Amino acid sequence: MSTLGALQETLGYVFRDEALLRLALTHPSVAHESAVSTPHNQRLEFLGDSILGLVLTRELYERFPDWGEGSLTKARAQLVNRRTLADEARRLNLGEHLIVSRGEETSGGRARQSALADAFEAVLGAVFLDSGYDVARDFILGRFGDAFSALNQAPHIENPKGELQELLQAKSLEAPRYEMTATSGPDHDRQFECAVFHLGVELGRGVGKSKKEAEGQAALAALLKLREQPMTTGAE
């Protein structure tokens, strides 16, 4: 295994208690093949998972004050999954520093997505125990900065009509109203244009091959517009 000093340089963080980092890198397979009880990283992974969830949830809450619960939940899921966590572990070269059993080594365990994701969360837990919440928060946000920028540029919206209604009804009990403004094209290839209004104000327009698609595009346009600027519609 490479020295822990090299890894800490890559992490941009030097542990006061280096034993915590070593524990974070110890795969459970070591305990399974050992004749004696050997500590491994599952408890630190559990802790790191909780810290990661708290940090990212709070950051989403503060960055996107107009997003409803559904949007925030989807955004968090987009940021945190086994693939993204394993990708972070690869960027930090955690795989080459993992302490694994002989059987895990021969079966390619260092490159396994689950092992990498778990190790990344365990390292987060170790940083938290070593220096506290604020340092762990800064470490996490430093790793996820680009992901947050991507959310700013292209919000992940699967149900624009539902999310628009959720956003608007947080400010007013009145639901958005959709109105067909134009149709064009032959009967077999119709195109519909729709506008969405709230409290008499037009929020966005969209076009589609069906009324449903046009309404969805109008809602999407409205959401993107509202998320770029403070929402002024609705009761104060």
- How far out from the chain centre does Cα 142 lie? 14
Helix (H) or strand (E) holding 184: strand 177-184
Q: Which amino acid is at 161?
A: K
CA distance 3 to 173: 60
CA distance 95 to 93: 5
Helix (H, G, I), strand (E, B) or coil at 38: coil
Is there a contact between 101 and 32 (Cβ–Cβ < 8 Å)?
yes
For residue 184, which phi and psi values (nearest 5 degrees)? Answer: -150, 165
**Is 121 a residue of the active site?**
yes
Q: List the catalytic residue out of 45, 49, 88, 130.
A: 49
Please choose, from the candidates 34, 22, 56, 41, the residue with its C-alpha nearest in 3D space to the C-alpha of residue 142: 56
**Is 189 a residue of the active site?**
no
Helix (H, G, I), strand (E, B) or coil at 208: strand
Please choose, from the candidates 150, 148, 161, 159, the residue with its C-alpha nearest in 3D space to the C-alpha of residue 198: 161
Q: List the catalytic residue out of 88, 104, 118, 121.
A: 121
CA distance 125 to 135: 11
Q: Exposed/middle/buried for 149, CB within 10 Å: 0-12, 13-18, 19+?
A: exposed
Annotated catalytic sites, by residue? 49, 121
